[in-house]
Amino acid sequence: MLALRRVPTKLLYTSLVRGNGTVATPLTAAAPAPPPPSSPPKAKAASPSSKPSAPKPASKPASVAETSTSKTIDVDEADSDKKDRKRKRRFRFPTQRPSISLERPRAYSRPIGVGVLRAYDEALAYIKKDSNVVKAELEEYKASLAKAESSPESDSSKVERLKEKVKILEIQSEINLPSVRWKARNGLADLTKPIYRHLVEQRWREDGVLDMLMERIYQMNVVPDLLPNMRPTLDLRVNFPEAPPDNVYQRTRVKRDYEKVEPGIFLLPEQTRKPPMLYTTVFHTDTRLYTLLMVDLDVPDQENASYKPYLHWMQPNIALSALSPSPIPLTTTHTRYIPPHPQRGTPYHRYVILLLPQSSPTERIKIPAPTDEQRLGFNFRAFAAQYGLDGAKGGGVHMWREVWDETVTKIYTDIFEIEEPIYGRMPTPDRYVGLRGTKKYIQS
């Protein structure tokens, strides 16, 4: 009987697949004849002493040479294709749009094109018409104000009423324009104009930022432990470096960016080793002087079995207005910055930064720089009463918390150059320590 032999499937596919190499000329094809030699070669007579020469290897057929050449060319082309692909991979399209800021502004564009939605076009036309009407009324009040101020017998109360009316109309004339609200929402507000100052302050007070700040201040007893009352009138934002990575190898090799600190959160002592970056949004155009203080409220007081404050930082006579640069350029330091160092064995510490207006907005005050010994037990209420600082009249406030870790030991070694103190609860006395060595039962 005849047996059928099964051909492997792999051979069937490999015979049908075409590779990247150029198809070579089959060996059976006739190769082009070489040109005839000019003269027939003369055979040399072999001497008896000479050894017979080894036969030369036969040269490859032309088709095989062409095949190897074509393969080399194809390999070069494949390498060049790989290089081109790598070059193309280097360019990556951004996954998100860049942030909008005054350094990278972006023009306002309508969310809907003209003629797409007729109701939207009519609403924009109505808003524009109302704005023009209010602007015309504003020009009339400005003319009346200029006339009242130039009059020698002008009434001061009338002038104040006209100024207040002009201020209100300046805001009402542009408050409903979509382009104005978009710029105020995306950080492109021009704080020289009253409309943008009004919208930015309204957002700060009504969108929950101020509410969360005041909640944390009262919930964690900053008021009344530090000051009796606080009514912020400016937005104070504190930025510290982000937390170090968990990988110890990357801690000294990764650059950490500054990030905004939410009021009341816990920070690591390593994050607050350097002074923070302070950003402010002020809503008055005139320049006023402020005093900056940073206080720790929870330093242990062994004598009174309580806690007392510690002054970490102070800088008086900081000029601020709506046009001031941000962050605050603290070029000169009145009292040097000492990083937070919560003591071992104590609960969390509350750190508060205050930016309070001075009694005179233009006159600079002279405050002697406290010594390192005077920082401990800093009496803020007596200090505020002496130099006219009142949180009820405005200013800014911020706070966060910290607990002890191993990096605090280095702060005591490098800055204070003393041994780190250790605190804790007193052990409970053992009332039966004298009876432990005696017998429990007495035999009669």
Residues 229 and 372 in one domain: yes
Look at residues 186, 180, 179 and name the one whose alpha carbon lies nearest to residue 109.
Answer: 179
- Is 16 within a domain? no
Tell me which residue of 340, 305, 309, 339 sits closest to 423, measured CA to CA: 305
Nearby residues of 330 by Cβ (< 8 Å), 6 or more positions away? 275, 278, 292, 315, 318
The domain boundary residue, chosen from 136, 152, 176 = 176
- What percent of the chain has a predicted confidence (pLDDT) above 90? 62
**Minimum mean pLDDT among 15-29, 77-91, 305-319, 358-372: which range?**
15-29
Give the count of domains, the chain: 2
Please state, in angstroms and rounded to a whole number, the distance separating the CA atoms of residues 312 and 350. Answer: 12
Q: Is residue 421 part of a domain?
A: no
Lowest mean pLDDT among 195-199, 258-262, 434-438: 434-438
Q: Are residues 259 and 166 in the same domain?
A: no
Domain assignment present for 1: no
Q: Which residues of 330-353 are buried (b: 16+ CB within 10 A; e: fewer)?
A: eeeebbebbbbbbbbebeebbbbb
Range in 24-38, 177-191, 193-207, 245-259 the model is least confident about: 24-38
DSSP 117: -
Query: In terms of domains, do 271 and 330 share one?
Result: yes
Same domain, 366 and 293: yes
Same domain, 266 and 400: yes
Shared-domain flag, residues 212 and 140: no
Contact (CB, 8 A) for 395 and 234: yes
389 and 273 belong to one structural domain: yes
- Does 131 map to a domain? yes
Distance CA 46, CA 344 (A): 105
Is position 444 within any domain?
no
Domain with 291, as residue range(s), is 208-416
398: which residues sit within 8 A by CB, 6+ positions away? 213, 236, 237, 238, 261, 263, 352, 353
Same domain, 212 and 127: no
Domain membership of residue 5 (yes or no) is no
- Region of poorest pLDDT, from 51-55, 291-295, 338-342: 51-55
First to last CA, the chain: 115
**Whole-angstrom distance, CA of residue 300 vs CA of residue 283:** 39
* 173 and 131 Cβ atoms separated by less than 8 Å: yes
- In a domain, residue 399? The reply is yes
Q: Which of 122-131, 286-295, 298-307, 348-357 has the lowest mean pLDDT?
A: 298-307
Q: Are 299 and 310 in contact (CB under 8 A)?
A: yes
168-184 pLDDT, tens digit each: 999 999 999 999 999 99
Is 216 found in the same domain as 351? yes
Q: Say yes or no: 285 and 369 in one domain.
A: yes
Sign of CA dihedral 150, 154, 155, 156: positive
Is 353 in contact with 192 (CB distance < 8 Å)? Answer: no
Q: Which CATH number goes with the domain that contains 315?
A: 3.90.280.10
Name the residue type at position 287: T
pLDDT at residue 33 is higher than 60:
no
In a domain, 97, yes or no: no
Which residue, 302, 436, 306, 309, is CA-closest to 378? Answer: 309
Statement to judge: residues 147 and 286 lie in one domain:
no
Would you say residue 357 has pLDDT above 90?
A: yes
pLDDT for the residue 37: 52
**In terms of domains, do 295 and 344 share one?**
yes
